[in-house]
Amino acid sequence: MPQTQLVWLRRDLRLADNPALYHAAQSNPVIAVYVLDDESPKHHAYGGASRWWLHHSLASLAKSLEAKGSKLILRRGDAVEALTKLAAETGAATIHANNHYEPWWINAERKLAKTIDLQLHHGNYLMPPGSITTGTGGQYKIYTPFSRALRAALPPRDELPVPERLEAPAQWPASDELASWNLLPTKPDWAGGMREFWQVGEAAAQARMHWWADHVDEYEDKRNLPSEDRVSRLSPHLHFGEISPIQVWHAHKDRTSAGWSTYEGELIWRDFAENAILQSPALATQNTRKDFDRFPWRDPATDEAAARDLKAWQQGRTGYPIVDAGMRQLWQTGWMHNRVRMITASFLIKHLLIDWREGETWFWDTLCDADYASNALNWQWTAGTGADSNMFSRIMAPLSQSEKFGAGRYIREYVPELARMEEPYIHDPEEFGRRPAGYPRKIVGHKQARERALAALKTIKTG
């Protein structure tokens, strides 16, 4: 009699191209399990927006498994303890899982492998993180040579099909009810905008990818235009593993457009981020460039003015329309256009002189696609604190960025106080003397902020 195989799911909530599920199904019966572990990640347990997405993604996956005659088993608590207990209950001698590279998951995998046969598979990236190395066998710290090396190693592995069948065990173990996890907001229910903006689950990810197939060739020209819907919006689907980057790559591999080449680079950036946390597991909490440990950040915990500025940034009430539109889009939809992410992050760090880690924490709680590696790497890139990052002295001018990238319609959508404002006034209504009474004044002038930021930078160069 073949022994039961457990499939430990985390950020791989799909049936297609799921190596752990596919290989486990070759030795039936199979029990797929998701463990809600808020203990191991500590301060990087899922934030509110991610928990909303997770609920709907798990519900979708459970229906897909039921259509195959299977079930999704839900357990809560320390993942290693929960899986060890489940293996004992079911007589499973093997657990299949796809590799995850967040430091808490690496620790859990090592601990679990000491007591049970843990079969790990490459599932969520173009290439196995850590496998793209320099000529001397080291890890890349800079994106451009990493990207060249990874492109040279393509194609990735072949896609894996949905298992033809998933044999059920003789008896199903007990499972939590998804609703009992209280992942959805209720008092208040702040997720109305997210429900309107998103469809969640593997089928939704596939539908979005098919939509993207008609637009990917435009990506190079239109990716920086927040008023245009010409970005993939696949990031939360990729983050939760409702679709794999390998599926996306194979769907577009025969294209030769600049748009696809640029988008392929975005997929490679995801791989680069995972390589970065393999080298620096504390990437989300520690500056990579240690000279920035001396940087004179304004601390909201001790500085009332900094606390007010941080709150104004979080609420989208800075007086900079493009910044406010982005922050309000984030709160309403759990997502933000990538160009605007750069603008809002730069504003917090350089205009307000507030530590990038405050931004990383806020994005972690409010983004549906909050990814430990990518979120940390992107914030350190903007702050100039990373191994491969933008120079701190390159300070984005949000008002000119707004006009350059045609953000007028985007601002009107997310900042209702400015819904009737025309070009060019909408990008800087205060400067033109057209600021509506209900819209805030700028919390800091651009010239003043730039001079203050450059002066702060000098202190760590001379210290």
We report the CATH number of the domain holding residue 457 as 1.10.579.10
CB atoms within 10 A of CB 397: 16
- Is the per-residue pLDDT at 463 higher than 80? no
Closest CA relative to residue 450, chosen from 346, 302, 319, 318:
346
% pLDDT > 90, the chain = 97
- Residue type at position 443: I
What average pLDDT does this structure show over 371-384? 97
Q: What CATH number is attached to the domain comprising 116?
A: 3.40.50.620
Task: Mention every residue, 6+ apart, whose C-beta is less than 8 A from residue 415.
Answer: 316, 321, 324, 325, 328, 439
Count CA atoms within 13 Å of residue 382 on its CB side: 27
Both 141 and 60 in a single domain?
no
Q: Is the same domain home to 351 and 422?
A: yes
**What pLDDT is recorded for position 154?**
98
Distance CA(332)–CA(334), nearest Å, equals 6
Q: The domain containing residue 451 runs over which residues? A: 290-462
Q: Is residue 189 included in any domain, yes or no?
A: no
Predicted confidence at residue 5, as pLDDT, reads 95
Tell me the average pLDDT of the chain: 97
Nearest Cα to 95, choosing from 77, 68, 73? 73
Flag whether 103 is in a domain. yes
Task: Kindly indicate the confidence band of residue 117, based on its pLDDT and cuts at 50, 70 and 90.
Answer: very high
User: What is the total count of domains within the chain?
Assistant: 3
41, 102 contact by CB (below 8 A): yes
Reported pTM: 0.97
Q: Does 218 have pLDDT greater than 60?
A: yes
- Which residue type sits at 125? Y
Determine the Cα–Cα distance for residues 272 and 144; give it in Å rounded to an integer.
10
What's residue 27's pLDDT?
80
